[in-house]
Amino acid sequence: MVDAAKKTAVKKTAAKKTTAKKKAAKKKAAPKKTTAKKTTTASKSRAAVKVIPGQSLVIVESPTKIRTLSRLLGKDYTIMASVGHVSDLPTKELGVDVEDGFKPRYETIRGKAKVLNDLKRAAKTAEKVYLAPDPDREGEAIAWHVAQAIDKPPESVFRITFDEITRRGVEQGLASPRQIDMALFEAQQARRILDRLVGYKISPLLWKKVRRGLSAGRVQSVAVRLICEREEEIRAFNPEEYWSIDLKVEAENPPPFAMALAQFQGEKVKIGNEEQARAILDAVGGGPLDIQSIQTKDARRHPAPPFITSTLQQEAARKLHFTAKRTMSVAQRLYEGVELNGEHIGLITYMRTDSTRIAGEALTMAREYITGNYPPEYLPENPNVYRTKKSAQDAHEAIRPTDVSLTPDMLKGKLDKDQQRLYELIWKRFLASQMTSAVFEQTRVEAVAPEARDYLFVATGQVSKFKGFLTLYQEGLDDQAEDPNASKSLPKMNEGEKLSVLEILPNQHFTQPPPRFTEATLVRELEKQGIGRPSTYASIISVIQEKEYAIKDRTRFAPSELGELVNGLLVECFPNILDVGFTANMEDRLDHVEDGSVEWHGLLDAFYKDFEPTLQEATQKMRNVKAEAQETDIECDQCGKKMVIKWGRNGKFLACPGYPECKNTRNLDKDGQVVEEDRTPEELQQTCPNCGQNLVVKTGRNGRFAACPGYPNCKHAEAIKTGAKCPNDGCDGDLVERYSAKKKSTFYSCNQWPKCKYIAPAKPVAGTRCAECGHSFLVEDPKADPPGLRCPAEGCGYKITL
C-alpha cells in the first residue's frame, strides 16, 4: 500500500534520476579515461543496476552474498540485495485492522525506498526474477514483500533458497525453483501480527501504570517469568543438612583410592546430622574392609549429534563464552562467506535449523575425511544417524561445514578470532558426530567392615579403552562440578582382599538451591518448554537485557527490581499470556499454520476473543505503581517534608511530595538505600576550569561523571580522571572513566578520543609502574585472589599482590 508521502518520495526519486541521466549524457560525450572505477559490493547492491535483456535477476537478502554469487552464476545473472526486510508494520501504530480479519498494513521501511526502486527498475528488463532471501520464515516474508513491490507477472518470478553458499548449494537452489510458499509466509505474518497485538496492546498499559518506555512481549515476557520464578525458588530455598562418609583406603597394589558409604541394609544411606555420622563411624570402626565384589564391564559413550541452532548457542556459551546474539552474528558471516585465496566461499550451512539431518554427500565427505586422517577403527561401519525431535520443522540440514577438507588449521589467519573459534567448534562437532563411540572399562568395587556388614562402601573407576570421537571433540557441561565420564583408575584388586583404612573423612554438606540461568541453560529451558523457536532465542535474550528486566551478573541472569515488578503485574492480569503451557501451545499452532493444517485468521481470531476482554479488565484492575508514593522518614533537605519513594525511568527514587514547588529528588540503590554520593559527594583532585573548585562525583543515566559543586551557577562537567596518562606514543591525554550503556559496564579510555582510541584492559592505578618492562601504570587484576595488580603491556606478565 503506497501512501501520499511515499508517492511524493517516488516522484522526487524519479526527478533525481532524470537529472542524473542528463549528467551521464554529458559525461558520455567527454573523452573516456583509460581505467574505470571499480564498483564495490555494498554500492553495487544499492545502485540502480542495469539488467541486460535476457539476463536473470537474483535478489538476495544480504549484500555480502553478491560477490560470491556473481562469481558462481556468471554473466547471465545480475545479483542485487534487498538488504534485509523492505516492508513491515508501521512503527508508531498498531497497523492491524482487527475488525477486517486482522488485515495488516505494511509500509516501506524507512531508508528502503531507494532499494525498492532499484529492484523494481532492474526487474522490469529481467527475463526471470529469482527471489533468494534466507531459507526461513523471515526470508519467505522478504521474498513475498519484494514480489509485491516489483509487480512482475507471477510466471516469471521464482523463489529459490541456498542451504549453503557454495557452487553445489547454489546449483541445487537454482535447480529447484518454486513459487512463494504462502503457508510459510502466512506463518511469519501470523506470528508478526500476534506479537504486535500483544506488544502494542499491553505496553501502553505498562506506560500508564508503571512508566514510559516499558514493553511486553508474547515470548520475552514468558522468558522473564522463568528468570523471576527461578529467583523466587532460590529465595524460598531452605538448605538441609546432610553428611557423607568417605574412606581413604589402600589395597595390596597402589595407589590409594576413596570409597564412599553408599548403602545401609540394602537401602540408600541418608545421614542427616553429625550425631548420626558419629554413630556410623563408631559402628564401622577403623579396621580393614573386606572386598565383597568387583564388577567390571565395558561402557560406550556415543558422540553428540551435529549442531542445530539451540545446541550451537548453548555450546558456544559454554566453551567460547559467546552470547546467543554473538553466536548467531558470527555464524551468519560464516554462512554468507569469507574471502579465501581470491574467492568468496560460504563455510557453513544455514545456521537457523532444528534438524540433525545430514545430506548424503556430506556424510560421504565426512567418512572420506575420517578414513584419510584416522586409523580404520575410528570410522563406524555405517554412518551415524540422529533422531530429530517430533516438533522440528526439518526444513534444513544440521549446521555443518560446507567442505570438511577446509580444516580450522587451514583457515588460521584468514578468519577473525570469533569466526575461527566458532568454525572450529562446528567443524569438530560435525566430524566427531560421524566417528566411532568411545569405550570405557568401568569398575565397581563393593566392600564392608567385618564388624558392621550392614554398611556398604563403594568405589567406582573408569578407564578409557578407546577414545573414539573424544580424540576430536567433547561436549561441554552445564552446572556440573565434575564430568561423570571422567576417567578414574583403580588399582588391580581381587574379591576377598582386605583394604587398609588410611583415613576416615566425615563431611558436612547442605543442599543447594537451583542455580540461576546462564545463556546456555536459559536457551535449553526455552527449548525444553517450547517457548520461542531456535531463530528467536538470541533476540529474546537480548531484548530482556536491553529492557533491563534481567541483569547478567558475569554469566548468570537475575531479574531486576523492574523485571520482577512488571512480571508480577503481567502474571496477575494476563495469566494466559504469561503461561508457559499456553505460549508453547501457541508456538505449535503457529507451526501448524506453516504446514497448512491451521488457518491463520482463525488462529488470531481465537486468540483475540480471549485477549480483548482480559485487556479491558487489566486496564481497570492493574495496580497503578506510578500513582503510588510510599512515605519515608527521610526529610527533604530543601523544604523539610518527608520524602516519598516513587518509580521513575531508572527505577525507584526519592522525591519531595511538595512537587512542583519543591523539585528535590535523591537516588536509591538496588537495595532501596539512599546512594552514598547523594548524601556526601566524593571530592576529586580535578579542578573546575571556570570557578576553581574541586570537582565532585555525580551519577547520571550514563554512569559516574565529575561535576562542579557550584551547580546550577556553574554547570561544568567532565569525565572522571584515573590519574594515569595515555601510554600511546605522541599522546598527552588522560585515561578517564567511561560508561558503556550498551554493555552496562565501566571502561577506561583516553580523553582525546576520537583522535586517540586507546582503551585500557582494566582500571589503571595512578602512581604505579611496571618493574619489568617500565610501562607507565599497572591495572587492577579482577581475577586475582587475593587482590592484585598486573601490567597491561602485551607480552608482559608482571603481577603484584596487594
SS (H, E, C) 38-65: CCCHHHHHHCCCCCCCCCEEEEECCHHH
Longest dimension (CA), the chain: 111
The CA distances from residue 675 to 80, 228, 508, in Å, are 55, 25, 40
350 a catalytic residue: yes
**Residues listed for the chain:** 802
Backbone angles phi, psi at 188, to 5 degrees: -65, -40
Catalytic residue among 350, 378, 549, 748: 350
- Map residue 567 onto helix, strand or coil: helix
Give the distance from CA 182 to its chain's centroid: 30
Amino acid at 313: Q
Q: Using an 8 Å Cβ cutoff, are 790 and 798 in contact?
A: yes
Burial of 32 (C-beta count, 10 Å sphere; 0-12/13-18/19+)? exposed
The CA distances from residue 34 to 6, 27, 44, 136, 374, in Å, are 41, 14, 21, 46, 56
Q: Which residues contact 312 (CB under 8 A, 6 or more apart)?
A: 327, 331, 351, 399, 425, 426
Q: Using an 8 Å Cβ cutoff, are 656 and 643 in contact?
A: yes
- Hey, what's the cell of 70? 556473481
Rounded to whole angstroms, the Cα distance separating 565 from 796 reads 48
Angle at 663 between CA 661 and CA 666, to 5 degrees: 150
Q: Using an 8 Å Cβ cutoff, are 356 and 306 in contact?
A: yes
- Hey, what's the cell of 215? 514493553
Angle at 334 between CA 329 and CA 340, to 5 degrees: 140
Active site residues: 350
